[in-house]
Amino acid sequence: RILIIDFGSQVTQLIARRIREAGVYSEIVPFQSADKALDWPGLKGIILSGGPASVHEGGSPRAPERVFTRGLPVLGICYGEQTMCAQLGGKVEPSDHREFGKAFVEVKEANALFDGVWEKDERHQVWMSHGDRVSAIPSGFKAIATSEGAPFAAIADEQRQFYATQFHMEVVHTPDGAKLLANFARDICGCKGDWSMAHFKSEMVHKIKKQVGLDRVICGLSGGVDSAVTAVLIHEAIGEQLTCIFVDHGLMRLNEADEVVRLFREAYNIPLVHVDASKLFLRELEGVTDPEKKRKIIGKLFIDVFEAEAKKIGGAAYLAQGTLYPDVIESVSFTGGPSVTIKSHHNVGGLPERMNMKLVEPLRELFKDEVRLLGKELGLPPHFVGRHPFPGPGLAIRIPHDDITQEKLDILRKADAIYLDEIRKAGLYDAIWQAFAVLLPVRTVGVMGDGRTYDRVLGLRAVTSTDGMTAESYPFDHAFLARVATRIINEVKGVSRVVYDVTSKPPGTIEWE
């Protein structure tokens, strides 16, 4: 396996994902606790991630010295390159030619990292994001690629098998990056490349058994794919030691709550407590318009209701959560990690400390599409695992800048169901990452029959994405959008106008609040 030492980059997890795609097992460890990991049995190589620090700052992170004396191949990426150079006797300085975004490198020397991918003298697109740059390389190294802003865009000491790049090869904007990482994992480190989701499943089943022992586990089902996959995986590991609690906040899409209950009780025979708390949620959300407040209220209520039910069941030492990697990275204020908070997702943090329970989070390293693969591996129905992601706070954050009432929820739910129905009929559901309707706090005039209406505006959103971290608006044809608009206005009382959102992420987010 490969050890990835994390210096806090937003995209460290993408390195792990690319290594998994190359059929190699990897684990990420924060730099503070990396020294111990260097003694892992079967360790074949080390990757140093990027990170927000500058090697010039006092106290900025360093790789444990043993990284360079263990006799294993090492790959440094961005900050990883800089700290590697600083630690091995090279020089890093602040650059007046900062590079952010797309850049081109010129290949200077053939080497094992580029083998079969890039040849000498070729120019290739890469993704850069750095202020500092390496200005002198340690002895034993040579430049293997250069860019305008970075004379040492890629360097290698082939004898010691140390490689480093200033560019981020883990992101899709470095089109050949995945191949370079596969070269490192397989050819340079000598990993076999036969690891798959089936291995992940059996390793996780093993880990869960070992972690939990004979204790009981409670899993909160949200109705979405992530918590369902978590529950089925844990059920496979420990069977009847698992109980699921489904806190139904009444903010789900049309018919979804029933579907989940049926799937768990009938298809899987997993013990499930279904709590209909919709009235309570509506009452507590009354008059609240601020999105972060909505999230906090929903998160807190969810915890309260869940906790009360869990107490009734009693005796569970573990709490299972379907936290995915993007939840972790976008909720780091809860987990104390080094990158920046964007939105406080309610499904991470708080609960285990309060309930004095330990956490089981088997999906923490995975991206959505990997969770779907795992779900299929576990035998969940394809239409279920293929469902678009749905935020924990549900429809409450799809009535932006407005308070939540039953009436608004009903309008939104109906319109959303029509939109999704048309998307399915057009055969576009699986090509889209996430599609949903948003009920706006704006009234506009319409004419219906002989009368004037003064009803709400409904926004439609559909995006493509591979991991939810970046997204593009889906390019529906006009006739499709017009058909959806007509159906919604005809069939849903309370909507007089429909608009389509064409914003990408970034700068927009997927949800409207």
Tell me which residues touch ligand XMP (CB under 6 A).
Answer: 295, 343, 345-347, 389, 391-393, 434, 468, 505, 509-511
Provide the minimum distance between the beta carbon of 120 and ligand XMP in the complex, in angstroms, as a whole number. Answer: 41
- From 81, 85, 130, 170, active-site residue: 170
Q: How far apart are CA 111 and CA 117, in angstroms?
A: 10
Closer by beta carbon to ligand XMP, 12 or else 434:
434
Which residues in 239-257 are b (16+ Cβ under 10 Å) and which e? eebbbbbbbbbbbbbbebb
Residue 89 marked in a binding site: no
Active-site residue, selected from the candidate residues 168, 249, 345, 388: 168
Q: Which is nearer to ligand XMP, 22 or 510 (CB)?
A: 510
CB of 262 to ligand XMP, least distance (A): 23
286: annotated active-site residue: no
Nearest-approach distance from CB 500 to ligand XMP, in angstroms? 17
170 is catalytic: yes
Of 90 and 393, nearer to ligand XMP (C-beta) is 393
Amino acid code (one letter) for 74: V
Q: Is 24 annotated as a binding residue?
A: no
Secondary structure of 257-316 in the HEC alphabet? HHHHHHHHHHHHCCCEEEEECHHHHHHHHCCCCCHHHHHHHHHHHHHHHHHHHHHHHCCE
**For ligand XMP, the closer CB: 209 or 343:** 343
User: Is 228 labelled a binding residue?
Assistant: yes
Please, which residues have CB within 8 angstroms of residue 456's CB and are 6 or more apart in sequence?
411, 439, 440, 441, 442, 443, 444, 494, 495, 496, 497
Using DSSP, state whether 162 is helix, strand or coil.
strand
CB contact at 8 A, 52 and 6: no
Question: Which tokens belong to 463?
Answer: 């995006």
The catalytically annotated residue of 78, 85, 191, 244 is: 78
Q: Taking the complex as a whole, how short is the minimal distance between the CB of residue 345 and ligand XMP, in angstroms?
A: 4
Nearest approach in angstroms of CB 305 to ligand XMP is: 17
427 is in an annotated binding site: no
The smaller minimum CB distance to ligand XMP, of residues 254 and 432, is found at 432
Instruction: Return the bridge partners of 446, or none.
Output: 453
- CA dihedral angle for residue 366, residue 372, residue 373, residue 374, rounded to 10 degrees: 70
Q: Residue 471, annotated ligand binder?
A: no
Whether 168 sits among the annotated catalytic residues: the reply is: yes
Any binding-site annotation on 223? yes
E strand residue ranges, 363-504: 434-448, 451-464, 472-473, 495-500
Sign of CA dihedral 237, 238, 239, 245: negative
Q: Which residues are annotated as a binding site for ATP?
A: 222-228
Binding-site residue positions:
222-228
Q: What are the residue numbers of the active site?
A: 78, 168, 170
